[in-house]
Amino acid sequence: MAHASTYKPRSGFARWLDSRLPIMRLAHDSFVDFPTPKNLNYWWTFGGILSVCLVILIVSGVALSMHYTPHADFAFASVEHIMRDVNYGWLLRYMHANSSSMFFLAVYIHMLRGLYYGSYKEPREVLWILGVMLFILMIASAFLGYVLPWGQMSFWAATVITNLFGVIPFIGDEVLAWLWGGFGVDGPTLNRFYSLHYLLAFLIAGVVVLHIWALHVPGNNNPKGIDVKGPQDTIPFHPYYTVKDGFALGVFLIVLALLIFYAPNILGHPDNYIPADPLTTPEHIVPEWYFLPFYAILRAVPDILFIPAKTAGVIAMLLAIFTLFLLPWLDSSKVRSARYRPLFKQFFWIFVIACVALGWAGSQSPEGMALLVARISTLYYFAFFWVIMPLLGVIETPKSVPDSISKPVLGSGSAAASGTSG
Amino acid sequence: MITQTKRYPPRWSVLTIGVAMGLALAAWAPVRAADEATEALSPSARDWSFSGPLGVFDRAALQRGYQLYREVCSACHSLEFIAFRNLADPGGPEFSEEAVKALAAEHSVQDGPDEFGEMFDRPGRLSDYLPSPYLNNNEARAANGGSLPPDLSVIIKARTNGPNYLYALLTGYEDPPADFELADMMNYNPYFSGRQIAMAPQLFEGIVEYSDGTEASVAQMAKDLVQFLTWTAEPKLEERKALAMPVLIYMLILTILLYASYKRIWRDVDHD
């Protein structure tokens, strides 16, 4: 919620600057004295974690770009040059690769938290939409970045994913040649992917600013999913949430450090240490773990009427992502938090299970058991958004929702009295 | 306290039904039959000095591994990302600089052009990369019945479970089962994908005479080579693990302090 500014310039220079560019006031009102619900749990710390991840990625990425060569003949060797000859180059590269993996882990938790507590609902629809845009930009950026080491998986992932554009009717082949800069994935493709990868990082940073702006207009949602009723429900962002986010960030960075220092290649595919070879197709082409659910959806769809399986798969995969934009309007329930939605809570956890099952299926060959799991989970994925969400608001009887963040339901206990004052 | 206006739905939950349906499907679904005759065996796990948070290379094994590479593997396999100077780097085989200079000087390297525009040959230097056995991939294939001996620089990282796999592969050659159809110029090795590998067995008892007097058994040579190629793939492994401890200890203390601050700052906030 919008709130009155409490910024007081402490020096002559601060007053001078404040009357010309009130940037310190903006920072103070956004990150120091920003009224924040006092009941946010640890699931709310992932926004801060994601921001720090993005900074780590941009800083390490800029340093890496100073030593990397975006050329089909030299890219692989330049990555090895970074690993061997650049001071702490191994650290930069392992940091960049593992942070991007953890970035996705954090964003999935962040999105599921939004889903569970109904953070996308009125009045936070634009905040959610900007988040989905960030997610799509992240997907694009991670895909482009994965191509840059120019190993076997880089090359074949680029081939598989760009070929998806070939399903566009009539102009598919022309679009492909335009994307590739030739008649297949090759040097020109690598060069433009490098350029776009660098560009997208800063687009993401820009949309993050909008995302935080859109957060600061209605303010944070909270685990109870009810509106802030007054100052008794909130505490200032600093020091309360800076310290809580700081602690959660510390734990997150320890996990990241364990990966970087002790298992830096565990999330990568060994084939990407084989230089790209257009004449040798790897046995299994699999994307990074964070794309596996969508990869499973892509391959789960059979021929549908006159639409061939490949086209239908691409449509399903795109629909799986773009459906998220409509979530605020697909959910018909007035209650935000799953705490008070007994049915939704269960469908939510099945949704989480379905996503994990899709991830597993995506890592397997699309046949037998894996294909079956992928198909059932894909059906559930779409049913969850397009059938269950719209219906639940009608058929579900929510539990009674508390009146305010400070006051318990029905005023049982002594805390009720203190909550009503102010 | 939250008061429940209605229990919904009674007893069995949607979640239980979902899980039950999933299990039922798992039991019913057809299981893919594996092709046992050609599917590669998974290598058994071994202890390596370089595994674990405090793992380091066995310096003597790295030196023996290099000798083995030079006398056996380098006939067909290149190590294109390793320069002679690396053999003297800390965290590697750590040969003395004089020894490595002498090694490098044994090779003749084409350099140039000189001030008259002529290419010339000179003895190898520390900054030169290890020479490749073939001029290019085509020559390599022609010399090996159409198969390309891969560069070994990062081979350990380019294979799943690299160190154990390489050990199993090098020591795992055996006679093919009677009904196994082995292609021309191929060798049977149950650890290789498809079980047919172009490389013939290379390690035989006493094929090298180790300069440190270690007995060159097949198992010993395979171990030494795994150590050496793990180093070529991950030359900063020791630097990485040495940096890990201070970073983690710092992060741990910082995080504990942040937790203490969190508890203290929040002590008067009534929240749930």
B11 SS3 class: coil
Tell me which of B8, B78, B82, B256 to substitute to probe the interface with A (most A C-beta atoms closer than 10 Å): B8
Per-residue model confidence as pLDDT tens digits over A217-274: 999 999 999 999 999 999 999 999 999 999 999 999 999 999 999 999 999 999 999 9
More confident residue, A111 or B22: A111
Q: What is the pLDDT of residue B26?
A: 58
What distance in Å separates the CA atoms of residue B95 and residue B85, rounded to the nearest whole number? 10
| Residue contact A257–B259, C-beta within 8 A | no
Least confident stretch, A200-204, A213-217, A376-380, B180-184? B180-184
Q: What is the pLDDT of residue B38?
A: 84
Phi, then psi, of B259 in degrees rounded to 5: -65, -45
Q: What is the pLDDT of residue B4?
A: 46
| Residue contact A261–B193, C-beta within 8 A | no
Q: Which CATH class is domain B59-82+130-241?
A: mainly alpha
Q: Are A247 and B259 in contact (CB under 8 A)?
A: yes
Which residue in chain B has the smallest CA separation from A402? Answer: B2
Q: Rounded mean pLDDT of A199-212? A: 98
B29 pLDDT exceeds 70?
Answer: no
At position B175, the amino acid (one-letter code) is D
Per-residue model confidence as pLDDT tens digits over A123-133: 999 999 999 99
What tokens were used for A271? 């084939």
- pLDDT band at A4, cuts 50/70/90? confident
Q: How far apart are the first and last CA of chain B?
A: 12
A269 SS3 class: coil
What distance in Å separates the CA atoms of residue A81 and residue A68, rounded to the nearest whole number? 8
What distance in Å separates the CA atoms of residue A149 and residue A45, rounded to the nearest whole number? 32
**Domains parsed from chain A with CATH numbers:** 35-224+232-278 (1.20.810.10), 286-403 (1.10.287.980)
Share of residues in chain A with pLDDT > 70 (%) = 96
Q: What is the pLDDT of residue A418?
A: 42
Owner of token pair 């799986």: A320
Per-residue model confidence as pLDDT tens digits over B67-91: 999 999 999 999 999 999 999 999 9
**Angle between helical axes of B237-265 and A89-116 (0-180°, round to 10):** 40
Count Cβ atoms below 10 Å from residue B32 Cβ, excluding itself. Answer: 13
Phi, then psi, of B68 in degrees rounded to 5: -65, -45
Least confident stretch, A299-303, A308-312, A330-334, B181-185? B181-185
Task: Count interface pairs A-B at CB distance under 8 A.
Answer: 140
Q: What is the pLDDT of residue A412?
A: 46
B173 pLDDT exceeds 50?
Answer: yes
List A151's β-bridge partners, or say none. Answer: A275
- pLDDT band at B272, cuts 50/70/90? low
B66 pLDDT exceeds 60?
Answer: yes
B237 SS3 class: helix
| Residue contact B29–A347, C-beta within 8 A | no
> Beta B120-123 vs B187-188: how paired, if at all?
unpaired
User: Considering only residues 152 to 181 of chain B, which have any Cβ-Cβ distance to chain A shorter than 8 Å?
Assistant: 153-155, 157-160, 162
Q: Are B152 and B76 in contact (CB under 8 A)?
A: no
Per-residue model confidence as pLDDT tens digits over A35-52: 999 999 999 999 999 999
Q: B271: which chain A residues are within 8 Å (Cβ-Cβ)?
A: 38-39
CA distances from A341 to A41, A174, A384, B5, B16 (A): 18, 50, 15, 12, 17
- pLDDT band at A3, cuts 50/70/90? confident
Q: Are A71 and A187 in contact (CB under 8 A)?
A: yes
What tokens were used for A85? 């000859």
Share of residues in chain A with pLDDT > 90 (%) = 94
Q: Chain A closest CA to B15's CA: distance in Å?
A: 5
Per-residue model confidence as pLDDT tens digits over B228-245: 999 999 999 999 999 999
Nearest to A338 by CA among A128, A113, A106: A113
Per-residue model confidence as pLDDT tens digits over A131-147: 999 999 999 999 999 99
Q: What is the pLDDT of residue A180?
A: 97
Q: B14: which chain A residues are within 8 Å (Cβ-Cβ)?
A: 343, 346-347, 350
- Mind giving me the DSSP string for B109-154? EEE---TTS--EEEE--TTSBPPPSSSSHHHHHHHTTT--PPP-TT
| Residue contact B22–A80, C-beta within 8 A | no
Helices (H) and strands (E) in chain B, counts: 7, 4
Q: What is the pLDDT of residue B14?
A: 63
- pLDDT band at A57, cuts 50/70/90? very high
Q: Are A299 and A374 in contact (CB under 8 A)?
A: yes
Q: What is the pLDDT of residue A411?
A: 47
Q: What is the pLDDT of residue B271?
A: 72
Select from A257, A353, A406 the Cβ nearest to the Cβ of B251.
A257
How wide is the angle at C-alpha A252 spanned by C-alphas A251 and A256, nearest 5°? 120
How wide is the angle at C-alpha A247 spanned by C-alphas A241 and A252, nearest 5°? 120
Q: What is the pLDDT of residue B270?
A: 81
Which sequence spans correspond to the domains of chain B? 59-82+130-241
| Residue contact B159–A270, C-beta within 8 A | yes
Per-residue model confidence as pLDDT tens digits over A58-71: 999 999 999 999 99
Q: B29: which chain A residues are within 8 Å (Cβ-Cβ)?
A: 368-369, 372-373
| Residue contact B25–A409, C-beta within 8 A | no
Q: What is the pLDDT of residue A107?
A: 98
Select from B8, B81, B251 the Cβ nearest to the Cβ of A254.
B251
What distance in Å separates the CA atoms of residue B93 and residue B58, rounded to the nearest whole number? 9
b/e per residue A200-225 (b: at least 16 CB within 10 A): bbeebbebbeebeebbbebbbbbbbb
